[in-house]
């Protein structure tokens, strides 16, 4: 990001993909910037020479606040480009947002999200936003933070166990969506009456989970990077402790939990690779038998294909045995054959001697061809 292009006076429009607050007499190209919004779109087809028929697709994707995006249908004579500010159909009135995908890219995105482009439920694009539309939009967005703080005070006075984490005004300033999290069911009928009287808008309450809350607010993970859910992750898959066990991670709740308090989504990323690799390993409950004694399983290294065993009589001493040798011992045991001791199958680490060390030792024979 270019910090010189960031308007540091207001942060109201950053969550909508704007590097600065829109101006009434300013081109939208200087306002909308990729990388300034959560779950940003990358049009990978823009460098491709596509036939003209692909540009005639009549649906576009429009971005609103944070990760909220919707598809709308435009008329054939309406020519829109990425970054244009448009007024679109809402219920009731109209909303204002930025065009993020057009043409073939929008069609493929709708296909990915299982949305039928021919559906009659797809709302319409009214027009490119006029100055009056943008003026109302700016005034609505600028009072969102103030509205959220006032709402928290009102909810606290009513002793409601709910947390308001985001508020989004509609572009025409006639409606506001209040996003909240709550552990139990909340009776907020009295709250809605007070909010409607206070802010003079139509109120819509929307309960979200803690994962959705983290994706809307954002933050920094334990890895030092921005949260995946607020930058690129769109599908929340269930995560269980079995995923941590498969990856040989300690079941420490403090280390496995993310900013939202739930198990980290990144436990899913490498699970398939670990699950596939673990299929090569034998059942860890199998005891390795030898004439010296029986060995029980302790732990394993999945990708180095090493397994740790210890004698029942010597639990403090562990033996590192390669997977191939473990299978050999199990095969021998199945034939009622027992090796003298498990140490004969232990892993021997290869020592690599640097050329400079060999020169100092005066022994270069190991480097001869």
Q: Which two tokens stand for residue 135?
A: 């003026």
Instruction: Using the structure block, give the residue that is written with the tokens 């006076």.
Output: 9
Phi, psi of 141, deg, nearest 5: -65, -35
Which residue numbers in the chain have pLDDT < 50? 1-10, 369
Query: pLDDT of 252-291, one tens digit each?
Result: 888 899 888 889 999 999 899 999 999 999 998 999 999 9
- Cα separation of 56 and 72, whole Å? 14
**Running DSSP on this structure, what letter comes out for residue 168?**
E
- Cα separation of 235 and 179, whole Å? 19
Predicted confidence at residue 43, as pLDDT, reads 72
Q: Which two tokens stand for residue 223?
A: 């890895």
Predicted confidence at residue 20, as pLDDT, reads 75
Q: Contacts from 250-257 at CB under 8 Å and sequence distance 24+?
A: 255/222
Predicted confidence at residue 11, as pLDDT, reads 59
Predicted confidence at residue 7, as pLDDT, reads 44
Task: Report yes or no on whether pTM surpasses 0.75.
Answer: no
Predicted confidence at residue 8, as pLDDT, reads 41
Q: Which two tokens stand for residue 310?
A: 């210890």
Kindly give, in sequence order, each residue whose CB lies less than 8 Å from that of residue 200, ignoring residues fewer than 6 positions away.
none
Predicted confidence at residue 333, as pLDDT, reads 93
160 closest CA partner among 207, 202, 213: 207
Predicted confidence at residue 103, as pLDDT, reads 86
Domains in the chain and their CATH numbers? 3-130 (no CATH), 143-211 (3.30.300.20), 237-279 (no CATH), 281-369 (no CATH)
């Amino acid at each position: 990001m270019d910090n010189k292009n960031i308007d540091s006076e207001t942060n109201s429009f950053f969550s909508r993909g704007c590097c600065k607050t829109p101006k009434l007499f300013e081109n939208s190209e200087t306002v909308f910037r990729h990388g300034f919004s959560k779950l940003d779109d990358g049009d990978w087809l823009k460098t491709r020479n596509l036939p003209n028929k692909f540009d005639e697709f009549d649906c576009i994707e429009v971005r609103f606040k944070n990760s909220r995006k919707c598809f709308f249908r435009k008329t054939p004579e309406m020519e829109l480009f990425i970054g244009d500010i448009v007024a679109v159909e809402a219920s009731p009135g109209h909303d204002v947002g930025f065009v993020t995908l057009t043409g073939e890219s929008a069609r493929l995105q709708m296909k990915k999200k299982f949305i039928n482009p021919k559906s009659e439920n797809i709302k319409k694009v009214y027009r490119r936003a006029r100055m009056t539309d943008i003026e109302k939009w700016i005034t609505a967005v600028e009072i969102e933070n103030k509205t959220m703080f006032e709402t928290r005070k009102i909810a606290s006075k009513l002793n409601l166990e709910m947390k308001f984490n985001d508020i989004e005004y509609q572009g025409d300033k006639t409606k506001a969506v209040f996003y909240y999290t709550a552990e139990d069911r909340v009776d907020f009928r009295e709250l809605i009456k007070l909010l409607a009287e206070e802010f003079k808008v139509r109120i819509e309450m929307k309960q979200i989970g803690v994962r959705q809350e983290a994706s809307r607010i954002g933050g920094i993970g334990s890895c030092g990077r921005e949260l995946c859910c607020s930058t690129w992750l769109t599908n929340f898959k269930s995560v269980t402790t079995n995923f941590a066990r498969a990856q040989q991670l300690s079941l420490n709740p403090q280390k496995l939990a993310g900013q939202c308090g739930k198990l980290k989504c990144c436990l899913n990323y490498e699970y398939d690779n670990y699950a596939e690799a673990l299929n090569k390993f034998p059942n860890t409950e199998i005891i390795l038998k030898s004439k010296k004694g029986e060995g029980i399983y302790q732990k394993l290294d999945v990708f180095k294909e090493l397994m740790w065993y210890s004698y029942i009589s010597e639990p403090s001493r562990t033996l590192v045995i390669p997977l191939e040798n473990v299978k050999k011992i199990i095969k021998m045991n199945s034939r009622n054959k027992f090796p003298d001791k498990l140490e004969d199958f232990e892993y021997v680490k290869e020592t690599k001697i640097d050329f400079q060390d060999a020169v100092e030792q005066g022994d270069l024979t190991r480097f001869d061809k």
